[in-house]
Amino acid sequence: MKAYVFPGQGAQFVGMGKDLFETSEQARQLFAKANEILGFDIQQIMFEGTDEELTQTKVTQPAVFLHSTILAICLGDQFQPDMVAGHSLGEISALVANKTLLFEDGLKLVFKRALAMQKACEAEASTMAAILGLEEQIVEELCAQINGIVVPANYNCPGQLVISGSFSAVEEACAKLTEAGAKKAVLLKVGGAFHSPLMESAREELAAAIEATVFSNPICPVYQNVTASAVTDPEEIKRNLMAQLTAPVRWTQTMQKMLADGATEVIEVGPGKVLQGLFKKVDRAFPCSSAALEIVE
């Protein structure tokens, strides 16, 4: 069974998607449509912009989404998923790929998500930190003891968990987790506390946009971040997506569930190979690859 997975923010690089644009007329049309929807030339920033331009949240999230979804669409009959999943932002890419969302609606939600998250980040000094080499339960228990907002945000793979919250609480948690035996506790260069209660204002904005968007029956199950389980009901998919911004990304559990449900290979659709690396942490021998167009138009 083929599992197609879609990366999130952080996978971007200057030049992403240019090969698609040069190869496929369909891709060129989709990029033009994206520029029209967004109201700026994202294609130019993706292909020829600076790292600084590309790492603005309002650019990064649509850029990663566009690379992933346009590639999936251009694969045509080569794209035959038995299951899909996406890491954080990548979940919306997965929902376009499995036909739950139209491309245009997915892009509008991603842009709304990016702007709402940016606004929430500016409201309070907040950050995230990667915790390496410590059991999940210990991280959860120590975060709960901190006087302030700090929570597990990304369960990325066994031995790698990201925490998120107010700056002071995350710093205190890092110190205590290091004392408890973490190999590393590293503050991340991010704009704010994603997947924490500090994203509540963004969650409310995005939830209203999701509520107003049509969600259709998918062609295959999506394994959602909030539950780490297969979902096909459009209303349930919608509810889980609404909860995502303030809930942890249960990616470790998602990978384990996909393997338990019969996935025999993983294909990453979009920039980078981050998700393939995470799957290898679960099962080193598991077949992983990057999606690529086989036919030049």
In angstroms, the CA 205 to CA 108 distance is 13
- By the 8 A CB rule, do 275 and 7 touch? yes
Residue from 24, 68, 87, 195 carrying the catalytic annotation: 195
Residue type, 239: R
In angstroms, the CA 111 to CA 161 distance is 27
* Cβ neighbourhood burial of 179 (10 Å; 0-12, 13-18, 19+): exposed
In angstroms, the CA 46 to CA 67 distance is 9
| CA dihedral sign, ordered 46, 31, 272, 155 | positive
Q: Which residues of 146-171 are buried (b: 16+ CB within 10 A; e: fewer)?
A: beebbbbbbbbbeebbbbbbbbbbbb
Residue from 88, 93, 166, 196 carrying the catalytic annotation: 88
Residue 67 bears catalytic tag: no
Both tokens of residue 142? 């120590």
Q: Which residues contact 164 (CB under 8 A, 6 or more apart)?
A: 126, 127, 128, 150, 151, 152, 153, 154, 170, 193, 194, 195, 196, 198
Number of H-type helices and E-type strands within the chain: 13, 10
Residue 201 bears catalytic tag: no
In angstroms, the CA 146 to CA 152 distance is 12
- By the 8 A CB rule, do 198 and 192 touch? yes
Q: How many CA atoms lie within 13 A of 129 on its CB side?
A: 27
- By annotation, the residues acting in catalysis are 88, 195
